[in-house]
Amino acid sequence: MRRIALAAALIALVPAAYSYVNTMAEPSNSSLGVRSVEWLRDHGAAGVVSRVESIYYSLTAPSKGGATLRALPQVGYGAAGRARAQRLQAQRLAAAIYRPPRVAPLLHLALPGEGAWRATRPGLGTSAPLLITTLRNQPEYPRVVAGLAWIDTKRTTVTLNPGRQEPSVSIPRGSMDVPQARRGRLLASFNSGFKLSDSHGGFVLDGHTYATMQDGQATLVGYRDGRVDVVDWHYGPHAPSSVMFARQNLPLLVNQGRPSPNLENSEWGATVGNAILVWRSGIGVDRHGNLIYAAGEDQTVRSLADTLAHAGAVRAMELDINTYWVSFITYGAPGAHAPVNLLPSMDRPATRYLTPDDRDFFAVYSR
């Protein structure tokens, strides 16, 4: 009976082994370990993986309190000061071009440069269409840093780009990286949302609805006239003709400038709990229609929502979470040269979206 049971178990494992080997043999830019975990999630072990992740993140979470940082990571161009000519140019342009105010520090005393917006490359000056900064965003964890990016949607073009595996629907995938022909104007690229199987949301590209849109889901949407917005979707299962792209991911984190009152429930954590300290990312829109991206290590859903609202977002949504999936990359020179991660502790290389990637992502270009 033991031999029969063992034989039956081995026979039952053959289809699973075949599926696993085939999946691992497919082209991918993800590590073997990450692909193995994703395979387990997709084949009935999502609950087990989530429990293991929650235990791991709980054990590796930072302790509350303690000494604060003495300096923030150096981000952006000209962190130590700019030339007088750039300051004069900024003054001349100030009346015509909106620039976001400094993000108020949340810890006392503020560190040098904390919350101060900086350009990402020479020549863009202080009125650049893309600005970045860093902020200690959790007073109870004074060594934890979040990165912020502000994107002027009137002077940039934002695109949604399919990846090799996501969205998991039949769709024209293109090059699955930043197209060579558009790299001359590339300013930044950043991660999208959860896998569609986890978010249960919709996906629209080039005006075509490839995954059914869900009312009540937070949506980063781009319109044919160039506008970009973060909205609570209430337009039905198919995008209207005015929509160029749309990517959904869970309910809104921030609405009317305030974090959602439902942040304590499980709506924002398909893989780990809302209160687990883990890499998280999100994007919002300010009252001028510009985008604000936020990401950081050891974040809860609450800290992410509070940070986006504090930085000026009137509506905001969570994007992807976990160490391996969060990326915001700026390019220090035209042609996608000198790529740099928003935070030095981001796991993936800054060249991530210059080669085919497994997940869909967004790119930001100067107009």
For the segment 134-180, what is each residue's pLDDT rounded down to a tens digit?
999 999 999 999 999 999 999 999 999 999 999 999 999 999 999 99
Number of CB atoms found within 10 A of residue 22's CB? 10
**Which residue, among 365, 353, 330, has the nearest Cα to 119 in the 3D structure?**
330
State pLDDT tens for residues 41-90: 787 777 777 777 777 777 788 888 888 888 998 888 765 444 444 454 55
pTM (2 d.p.): 0.90
Count Cβ atoms within 10 A of the Cβ of residue 234 and give its class: 0-12 exposed, 13-18 middle, 19 or more buried.
exposed
Residue 359 and residue 212 share a domain: yes
The verdict on 284 and 147 lying in the same domain is yes
- Residue 23: pLDDT band with limits 50, 70, 90: confident
Same domain, 22 and 135: no
- Assess if residue 309 is contained within a domain: yes
| Residue whose pair of structure tokens reads 């909205």 in the numeric block | 231
Do 284 and 199 sit in the same domain of this protein? yes
Q: Tell me the pLDDT band of 7, cut-offs 50, 70 and 90.
A: confident
Q: Are residues 213 and 322 in the same domain?
A: yes
Residue type, 144: V
Domain holding 265, by residue range, is 61-67+129-366
Domain-ending residue, one of 28, 59, 90 = 59
Residue at which a domain ends, from 59, 81, 106: 59
The reply to whether 42 falls in a domain is: yes
The tokens for 322 are 């976990």
Confidence of residue 102 (pLDDT cuts 50, 70, 90): very high
Strands 313-321 and 243-248 turn out to be unpaired
Instruction: Say how many domains are in the chain.
Output: 2
Q: pLDDT digits over 320-343, tens only?
A: 999 999 999 999 999 999 999 999
DSSP 43-108: IIIHHHHHHHHHHHHHHHPPPSSS---SSPPP-STTTT---HHHHHHHHHHHTTS--PPPPPPSSS
Could you tell me which residues come within 8 angstroms of residue 41 by beta carbon, excluding any fewer than 6 positions away?
49, 271
Contact 259/251 with Cβ under 8 angstroms?
Answer: no
Closest by Cα among 324, 312, 354, 356 to 131: 312
* Residue of 91 and 103 predicted with greater confidence: 103
Asked if residue 97 belongs to a domain, the reply is no
Q: What is the rounded average pLDDT of the residues 212-227? A: 97
**With contact defined as beta carbons under 8 Å apart, do 279 and 318 qualify?**
no
Query: Among candidates 79, 72, 131, which has minimal Cα distance to 105?
Result: 72
Residues 343 and 255 in one domain: yes
Distance (Å, rounded) from C-alpha 15 to C-alpha 93?
64
Q: How many residues does the chain have?
A: 367
10 Å CB burial of residue 21 (0-12, 13-18, 19+) is: exposed
Residue ending a domain, choose from 22, 43, 59: 59
| Distance in angstroms (rounded) separating the CA atoms of residues 88 and 111 | 26
**Together in a domain, 265 and 183:** yes
183 lies in the same domain as 308: yes
